[in-house]
Structure 1
Amino acid sequence: MLALVLHEIGEFRVEEREDPTPAADEVLIRVSVTGICGSDIHGYTGENGRRFPGQIMGHESVGHVAALGAEAEGLGLHLDQVVTFNPVVIPTTDADTFAGREQHSPNKTVIGVAPHIPAAFAEYVVVPARNVVPLPATMPIEYGALVEPLAVAVHAVRRVLRRTDERALVIGGGPIGQSAVLALRMEGVDTIFVSEVDPARRALCARLGATVLNPTAGPLVEALVADGGLVDVTIDAVGITLTVADALNATKFGGNVCLVGMGSPKLDLEAFRLSTEERSLVGSFTYSAQDFTDAAAYIASGAPEIAELISREVTPHDADAAFAALSRGDGTAGKVLVRFSS
């Protein structure tokens, strides 16, 4: 099979690798497309220290079932079925203890992050059958690569959203921020603002139905107050000191802020304001199995706004150039997909 291999930090090469074979409890997936995640870009540049030379990365993927292990044959899967997969894998021995919060298992493995597991920037990938999620054949197959980033956003929103919340702010209009707009819609929030510096991303978020704000044009709080007041809940999809400060300032006393962006490993906080104004700052990382399944159901609906999230596709041979351009901030508004097959 062809695989996109991180030859060294800052360089991918397309290499020929042996086709994998599924174990008894596994499924072999013929990959159609795999999305380029922000964490993949940071791995490519070496910023996050979580990707390593020789690794086959990739965890936002969709494809067709190519082979079933003996124990996977009774799970309702069949050859050529369109599927995606949840890359957060926990041991079966942890399933009961961490049901509903699988991401908390200290024994979890994340396909695409763990360097010893060949992942989805390749023509084939092997995954545990229990992590496979079917999708409808009638859906544009590339939509399946959007399930995983939407699951991240669904989990982040559910971490902080209360039933009474009506106004929400998303800081950062990149792929996770865009997914957060859809996740808020999924949870019934109609009034959604997005703060984003890039005009192309603002335009994309506006097409998703959000009210877009340019934080460089003036104080974010003033813009919100002029449009009805502070928000009930904020999703920070950037995660640096400046955006966390904006998130706290933009949220009502007693409101909730979710930090899902990982732009900086350390932050400076106005701790007294966090305490005296009783805002909550909550972290979010990956998702539960239910979050992933719910995200897949939304993507499977084929809602027209889903197409807005995809900016372009590239071939494996063009992927290194795409990663280099994205790492330089080339102005791509949405998701870039690497196409391996139809």
Structure 2
Amino acid sequence: MLVRVAYAGICGSELSGYLGHSSLRVPPLIMGHEFSGEIVELGEDASAINPALTPGQHVTVNPLSCRGTSPLQERGLDHLCPTRMLLGAHQPGAYAEYIAVPARSVLPLPPQVSLRIGALTEPVACGVRIGELAGDVAGKDCLVIGAGPIGLLALQNLQRQQARRIFIADLDPHRLAMGADLGGVALNPAVVDVVAAVRAATDNMGVSVAVDAVGTGQTRTQCVAAAQTTGAVILSGLHEETSSMPAADIIRREIVVRGAFAYSPANFAAALNLLAENAIRLDPWIVEAPLAEGGAWFERLLVAPGNVSKVLLRPAEDAPV
């Protein structure tokens, strides 16, 4: 089916593709996988696959879909299925006026969710997945390294799960201020030793769960060092595809290290529900810009994002809002 794109977000994975550091995003390619829009045309089998869809409907789209079946898909883990395809990586993405999408991946927006907010469903789903993997954190201390969109959304999902305190670290003072505004305990690595500060605040115990939303060798090592013995480290950031890890410390303190990749279909649906309930936010730090200014925004986000949580590109000025 065909969707006219209203808003398409810029993700850190697309910044990596822009730099040529992503094995998934190889030119020539139209990127963009976080988006919302209006249904323009239904495909031949769209109504049979998803009877809720009609032309003119405002929707968001799960950009991950499977082309076959697997035991992982049968468990609801479509995002880990070996036949998965990603819009904006394996297929043309949403940095365009129109995008062709599978009908089974389309979710109508609830009446109270605007197209602007609906475009946030995909990154919110990443935060939901991190929270799900973190498990029971009620009354426990956590750490999130990286106050970009995924870090801020992970923070809010851990809060929803009743974490006691959530330390959040970032070198950018503007992004760190966003984390503090959302209720995190802000730590600037340029000013304090993050691991030492966390351990001092927890009587040298460390945190129950440490989330790396950056993805460098340094931040991964910091998460391990900040985690308590038998605690968990969740790796979400992919800034570096490979890096060294302090294996001896992980082994000797029986720390659980696991990846958090994308989201399941259930996580995606839950994310849309959270947005409908106004339970998650990236405002007031969202910026809208024409798609023609996308290159300039990519450059800014790479160098000094400043007081911006998410950039939403608009492919057409007269697109639905």
Q: Is TM (by shorter chain) over 0.5?
A: yes
Check conservation: 1:161, 1:233, Cα contact below 8 A: no
1:307 aligned counterpart, secondary structure:
coil
Aligned to 2:293: 318
Give the deviation of 1:43 after TM superposition. Answer: 1.1
Q: Choose from 109, 114, 132 the match for 1:158.
A: 132
Checking the alignment, whether the CA contact within 8 Å between 1:35 and 1:146 is kept in structure 2 is yes
Indicate the RMSD between aligned Cα atoms, in angstroms: 2.1
Q: Which residue of 1 aligns with 2:244?
A: 268
Counterpart-to-counterpart distance in 2, 1:337 and 1:97: 31
* Structure 1 pair 278–88 and aligned structure 2 pair: CA distance change class (3 A): same
CA deviation digits over 1:188-211, x for unaligned, max 9?
335211011110001111111211
- Does residue 279 of structure 1 match 2:248? no
Q: Which runs of 5+ in 2 are unaligned?
A: none
Corresponding residue for residue 21 of structure 1: none
**In the alignment, structure 1 residue 149 sits paired with structure 2 residue 131:** no
What is the distance in 2 between the residues matched to 1:166 and 1:151? 23
- 1:124 CA drift (Å): 1.3
Q: How far apart, CA to CA, are the structure 2 residues paired with 1:163 and 1:203?
A: 24
Which amino acid letter does the alignment assign opposite residue 202 of structure 1? L
**Distance in 1 of aligned mates of 2:215 and 2:2:** 36
CA contact (8 A) 1:165 1:233 kept: no
User: Which runs of structure 1 show a deviation greater than 6 angstroms over 4 or more consecutive aligned residues?
Assistant: none
> 1:207-218 residue pairs with structure 2 within 5 A?
207-218=181-192
Cross-structure match for 2:29: 55
- The percentage of counterpart residues that share the same residue type is 35
Partner of residue 99, structure 1: 75
Counterpart amino acid of residue 269 in structure 1: M
The Cα shift of 1:80 comes to 2.1
- For residue 249 of structure 1, the aligned residue among 225, 229, 240 is 225
TM superposition shift of 1:233: 0.4
TM-score calculated relative to the size of structure 2:
0.90
Counterpart among 167, 170, 176 of residue 144 in structure 2? 170
Kept in 2, the 8 Å contact 1:157–1:258? The answer is no
**1:1-342 correspondence runs (5 A):** 27-74=1-48, 75-91=51-67, 93-94=69-70, 97-114=73-90, 117-162=91-136, 166-229=140-203, 230-303=206-279, 305-308=281-284, 310=286, 312-331=287-306, 333-340=308-315, 341=319, 342=321
Report how many residues are paired.
Answer: 313
What is the TM-score with the length of structure 1 in the denominator? 0.85
The residue identity in structure 2 corresponding to 1:261 is G
